[in-house]
Structure 1
Amino acid sequence: MTTNRDAGFLWLFKDKANFRTLPSEDTFEGYMKAVLICANGDGKLAPEERDWAVGHAAAFGAADALVDELKSYKADEDIEKIISATPASSASRRFLVYDAIRACTADGQYSDLERATVTRMALKLGIAEDLVRQIENVCLEEARLREKRLKLMYPEGAPL
């Protein structure tokens, strides 16, 4: 039986990635850990980057135990091993790069070092540098559109 909460989580997954079913807990765990590993590839996981990943996992319905684990997860495991743990997480490698970029930009910056780190991690996952640049462009364009939307809808600033 599907709960209302599950219906909401499925709506989010469908909106984001066109999923027809919710990922298994193992798939979601591997994916979110891989996002943090990628964001930590330079050895400097900013609090805003971790907060983005933790919030993302919570918003998309991760189990409380996983959300709690992500809050202190060292993010130093082998990214290839983690992302390959389930077929669905392995098939989501491009989205992993996308979410890693989003996590890296959560502090308002996407430095050359972060870009190099994401590219290096993507190459380990079999994703070419040209594809990483395309994914980066989508992320940056979406961020600009978000700002444009917010300014249009709330020219005086958000009411809450």
Structure 2
Amino acid sequence: MNVRFLILALLAGHAGLASAQQMYKCGNTFSQTPCAPDAVARPVQPSAAPETPAGGLAGYELCAAAARKMVRTPEPETARIQPIGERRSEVIQYAGKPIATHRYDLSVDAKTPYGVYSGLQPYACWLSEDQRRVLQFRSLRD
């Protein structure tokens, strides 16, 4: 007997017990429609919670934490991070589709390997609509 057939038969038998939905994982988000041509549907239980960052950070605080992780410095915890302007809504391409995001621009002043601050560097951080997931983070000096 084929192992795949056995697994599918077992899953089909339990389908009535747990009413799962078909969802597609698109990066750090989930969608009811495929986000890419090769997307694979995954069953998600109705009680399953979306992925959230450690510490429950959201908004600008989440972008500041991402900046500390993304900026290459020997002492990331000492990076000086400041907002530039106000949060704004912006549509970006994510997983091949347009998606509404919240954009935060921030400046980062991080220590060099010599222990001195390198000067302010501008970055942009795009968050999901619920402001709980970083979708993109990049330097504005590219």
Shorter-normalised TM range: under 0.3
Higher strand share: 2
Larger RCO (CA under 8 A, 6+ residues apart): 1
Larger Rg: 2
Higher helix share: 1
Scaled by the length of structure 2, the TM-score of the pair is 0.22
